[in-house]
Each structure stands twice: as C-alpha cells, then as structure tokens.
Structure 1
Amino acid sequence: MPTVSIILATYNRAEYILESLQSIQNQTFLDWECLIIDDGGIDNTAQLLEPILKEDHRFQYLKRTEYYQKGLPGSRNYGLDLAKGDYIIFFDDDDIAHPQNLELCVKELSDKDISFCRYIRDVFWGNFDYNFDYSREYTSFFIDKRDINKILKNELQFNSCAVMWTKECYIQHRYTEHLKYAEEWEVYARIITSVNKGISINKALYFGRKHEESITGDFGNRKSASLVSYADAIELVVDNLRKRKLLSNEIIRYFIQIALDYKEYKLFPRILSCLQLSTLEKWRWEFFYFQLPLRLYFYNIYIKWKKKRK
C-alpha cells in the first residue's frame, strides 16, 4: 500500500496537466499513488496521459462515475473512496508541487498526535521559476479547534492544496458535492473542529497557477453559482459550529456582516434558523443586523478621519 494518496481532479487542462504531473514525479518522497480523476473533460487529456501512465504505474487515470456529482467535490470524493494511502493530499491539475512537499509533510505527520500538516502556498502567473528552496530548516506552530475563528475569517489561511491529512480525517468527512465554491473551506472547518491538532510549517511547498479560468476567478467576478455556493457553505459551517458548541458571538457577527451582501440569497434568516435561538436572542441578532449598515457607515467615516489626521 502507498504511504501517500495524491488526489488530482482534472477538467480540460491538457495545456497544463503534464507539467503538474512532472512535479509529482520529481518528489523526493517516492512511496505515493496519484489518482487522476477526470470530471468529464472533452479535450485530449486522456491521450496526453497515455505515455506517463505506461511509464509510471503510480499514476491512475479514472473518469468520475455517475454516482458522484459533476464538479470538483464529487471528483475528490471519488478519489477519497479509492485512496489507499495513510495520508491524503489534494493537488490541482494546473499547479506545481515543491519536490520536498510529500517528504516534509510525511515527516511532520510521523507524530501520531498530528492530524494534518499545513504549509505555505505561493502563486505564479505565466511560466514557473523552478529555482526551489531545498532547505529543511523552517519554523512551525500548532493549530487546533481554538483557531477555527481565525481560519474561517481567513486570518489563518487554509489554501487549496496546501494541507496533507491523515486518512482518519476523511473517515467521517466528505466534500459537500453541491457546493461549487468554498467546498474546501466548509469541509476543512468540519475536520479541524473534530480532530486533535495539526501543524503548520513556514515553507512554501506548493505553487498555484493564476489564470482567469479558475473557480476562484469566478467568485472574484461575482458569478452567481459561486455566490450561491458561498452562502450555502456559510449555513453549513454555522450549523456544524453550533452542534460542536464552538459558535462564538465573534463569528456570528462576522457571518451576519457578510449576510448584508447576500440578501438575494436570504443568508441572514438562514443563519438565524441554524442558530436555533430563543425569541429574545433572535430579536437581539435581528436588531444587530438591521442597525449594522448605519454602524458601518459611521465606522468608515471614522477610519477616513483617522487617516487624514496622520
């Protein structure tokens, strides 16, 4: 059985995928399998992969079955159901992994008290600079459920493809397949609030390619499917935190402020419904929500005034 299962979902990325797979072959840690899950692409990816599949049997190419919904979450769930490794990591089909990615993460996860290893993900445009830093010296810190507010508010970023997980993390957790954006954010919140702790290492071990075709680009361009998905993900996160008794007033206020921009999707009443409040508590948060625009207006005036005084 392989030590690490790499799950790489792909969809019409013939232009980039071979470079991504080469970065996997260049890993200093050799005991891995890579499950390439095709989400129904119509380009020549399958033909391009034929030589590498014959040459290196650690790669497997599979087409997502109809049992899983179309999209990244469904493809990754298919990969999870097939994975044989002790550790799970997700890569994208257009990015570059540092050669030491698997090696350093496996080393950190050899401590049985550690459930996941987070690392730095940098980004690049155009051609990639292969001048890697091979140093094995770096600082680190622990992460646990007490950090969940910072993670949800993106103060402690959990970027796509920047975490290796023990297989135990995904025994009871899968991606929510109808989500088309924030699906990682939502499942990570469930996992982090259900395990002991993880470690974060301050070294860039993954490099994400930036281009306009990405899902993140869709959200940045305010496409409807991504906005709907984000609202759905917030509702799921609030419900999970409530069940685990980790829902603080700080994070409720944060999500209610976001709800101001999601009136079309009825996010505020959905959050209230998840909270399962008494009538008095419900009135309290309704008052907070309805007077929040005025508070933000005066707060922005105050910030501008402070800047002028400097």
Structure 2
Amino acid sequence: MGQIFNTMSEMPQVSIIMATYNRAEYILESLQSIQAQTFKDWECLIIDDGGTDDTKEILAPILEQDSRFKYFTRTENYQKGLPGSRNYGLDLAQGDYIIFFDDDDIAHPQNLELCVLELSKNDISFCRYIRDVFFDDFHYKFDYSTTYTSFNIGINDVEKILRYELFFNSCAVMWKRECFVKNRFVEHLMYAEEWELYSRIISAGFKGISIEKCLFYGRKHRYSLTGEFYNYNAVQTSSYADCILLAIKNLKEKQLLSNSLIRYFISLSIGYKQYKLYENILAAVQLNRFEKLKWNLFYKTLPTRLLLYRIKKVIKKNI
C-alpha cells in the first residue's frame, strides 16, 4: 500500500516523541489520535525500548501509510527505560517544538494546534495544558472551544511544581527545542524523571503559559509506572528519592532553595528511611551546625506531631 498521508514539511514544526514498551494493546489507538490532529505539520518518533510483544507488527500498516510516523529501536548509547528512550528521541527530533506523548493515552484533536498557536504568538518557551484521566474505553467526545483562560509560569513557580501544587505531567506540555539544549532526562531514573527535569528547566529561567483547557487524556491501568509507584514498587520509590536529591542540588546551585521547600522535603523523607533520604538531604543542603540541630529536632518530633494532628482531626470531625 502506498503512502496515504504525507503532509509533513521537510523540517516538521512539531516533533512528538513517544517511547513505547510492550504496549501493543493500546499504542495504535494513541497513534490514531495523533493522526486526527487538526495541526498536520508534525513528525512522531516512536522509540521502542526493547519490547518483546508484537508492537512492530501492529504498527507496520500505519508506518507504511503515513510517513510522519517513524519507528526506532533505542540504541545502546542510551540507558534502558523511559528517560533514555526520550533522550534518544530528543537527539532525533527535527521540529521547532517538542512534545512527549505516552503510548497508551489519547490526545485531543486540537492539542498541537492550540499549543503551537500559543508558542508562536507569545514570547514564551513552553505551553502547559490540562490532562484528564480515563479508565477502560475512551469516549470520543471533545470540546472544540478555543476560548479559555490562561496564566503565566516562571521561575517563581518552581516551588509550586515541586510541591505538586502546580502539576507538570510529562504529556501535558509542549516545549520549544531550546529548553533541551542543556537539559535532558536523567537516564537512571524510573519515576518522577519529568518532575525533576521540568523543574530544572523552569529554574533555569524559561518562561511559559498554562492554558485552562484539557488537551490530553491519560489511560489508567495497573501496568502504568504511576500505578507501580502507588503499589510501592521499590524501583519507583527509590527513583523518587533520587529525584528529590537532584532537585535540591539544582536549586541549591541556583540559590533558589527556600526553607519552606527544605521543610517539605524533610517531611517527605519520613517515608523514605530505607534510602537514608533525610541524611542525604542534610548533606546536599550543606547546613551549618545550628541549622542541622534545628532540622534534627524538626525531623525527630515530626512523627509525634503528625500523630497528634490526626487525632485532633478525628476529634474535630466527631464533635
């Protein structure tokens, strides 16, 4: 069968990077949602992380029909895993704009169109948008409105991002390629790698916009990385502890590390004692003797204070 779709320019404006691993059940539906985009000037780089199912065979027809889809197998120059596969995609990407899509999710048809519009008319480096989740089958009912509110994001919002007060999902941001010239995924990380990278990019001074419109739909199932994290998979929880340390070191180097953020991460470290996270945080922050004593007192009394808080909450609820 000849090529049916060939609307991509010689140098595509948008590079979609999709890492995949044994997602034969879902990936074709994800690619079809990309094919349905109202914005047509894109390439989709599918990076196979060494899967063993029949993904390649399932993709064969769409690869033949649409030259905008390109299939690669991750090389040994990149570490196995999602970060390494995405870094490989970044090195292959030709577009002015970069976006990461997962291999089991659905993109809104206006995803690329609206992000490119925002990036082309504003002096910004990224466009964030809303991502919803779904279970089982996806219901194809889209809001095609182009009216929405927005707000700016910059270096002062890094703490909100790290505290999950401003969510930065890996598949809910389009970036200008300039953001990745000096910033890449840390390849040994197996969870929260985008949380670490995106906060690092924004802490470097890149500014963006967030539009209040849902443009992506994440499929929830028990084989997702997030699902493994909340099932306390040791690889993912260890990765999150590493991400916290990397984030602290980055902010310390840029003189952006606040006491409130130190407090937040030390509070989190209670749940990561097996990784000596608290001790590693103190070493990374490089405190003087008085400050170490202060945080030691905070850390040692935290479990008791948390217990008293829960008791008080229960009492208040029953009054």
Aligned to 1:164: 174
* Residue 297 of structure 2 is aligned to residue 264 of structure 1: no
Q: Any residues of structure 2 matched to 1:85-104 within 5 Å, and which?
A: 85-104=95-114
Q: Is the 8 A contact 1:23 1:99 kept in 2?
A: yes
Residue of structure 1 equivalent to 2:18: 8
Contact 1:169 1:195 in 2 (8 A): no
2:65 maps to 1:70 = no
Which residues of 2 match residues 145-156 of structure 1 at below 5 A? 145-156=155-166
Kindly provide the amino acid, as one letter, of the partner of residue 164 in structure 1: M
Deviation at 1:250, TM superposition (A): 0.9
Amino acid aligned to 2:31: L
Given that 1:9 and 1:72 are in contact with CA atoms closer than 8 Å, whether structure 2 keeps it comes out as yes
Partner SS state of residue 114, structure 1 = coil
Secondary structure of 1:93's counterpart equals coil
The one-character-per-residue Cα deviations of 1:66-89 (angstroms, maximum 9, x if unpaired) are: 110100000000000111111100
Q: Distance in 2 between matches of 1:204 and 1:9?
A: 22
The residue number in structure 1 matching 2:4 is none
Q: Give matches, 1:78-89, under 5 Å.
A: 78-89=88-99
Counterpart amino acid of residue 166 in structure 1:
K
Counterpart amino acid of residue 138 in structure 1: Y
Name the residue aligned to 1:22: 32
Output the CA distance in 1 between the equivalents of 2:214 and 2:112: 12
Deviation of 1:112 (Å): 4.8
Segments of 4+ moved more than 4 angstroms? none
Q: Contact 1:29–1:102 at 8 Å: present in 2 too?
A: yes
Match of 2:8 in 1: none
User: TM-score, normalized by length of structure 1?
Assistant: 0.98
Q: Which residue pairs with 1:216 in the alignment?
A: 226
**Structure 2 segments unaligned to the other structure (5+ residues):** 1-10
**Which residue matches 2:120?**
110
Counterpart for residue 283 of structure 1: 293
Shift of 1:51: 1.2
User: Is the CA contact 1:115–1:195 (under 8 Å) kept in the aligned structure 2?
Assistant: no
- What letter matches 1:71 in structure 2? G
1:90-239 correspondence to structure 2 within 5 Å? 90-239=100-249
Aligned-CA RMSD value:
1.0
Q: Secondary structure at the match of 2:17?
A: strand
Equivalent residue pairs, number = 309
Q: Quick one: percent identity of the two aligned structures?
A: 64
> Letter of the aligned partner of 1:94 in structure 2?
D
TM-score by length of 2: 0.95
Give the superposition deviation at 1:34: 0.4
Whether the aligned pair in 2 keeps the contact of 1:113 and 1:196 (CA below 8 Å) is no
Q: Is 1:294 aligned to residue 313 of structure 2?
A: no
Query: Separation in 1 of the partners of 2:37 and 2:316?
Result: 51
Instruction: Give 3-state SS (helix, strand or coil) of 2:148's partner.
Output: coil
User: C-alpha displacement at 1:301, in angstroms?
Assistant: 2.2
Structure 1 gap segments, 5+ residues each: none
Q: CA deviation at 1:308?
A: 2.8
2-structure distance, mates of 1:198, 1:8: 23
Paired residue type of 1:234: I
Kept in 2: contact 1:35–1:59 (CA 8 A): yes
Q: Deviations over 1:181-218 (max 9, x none)?
A: 11111101101111331100111100011100000010
Amino acid at match of 1:163: V
Deviation of residue 233 (structure 1)? 0.5
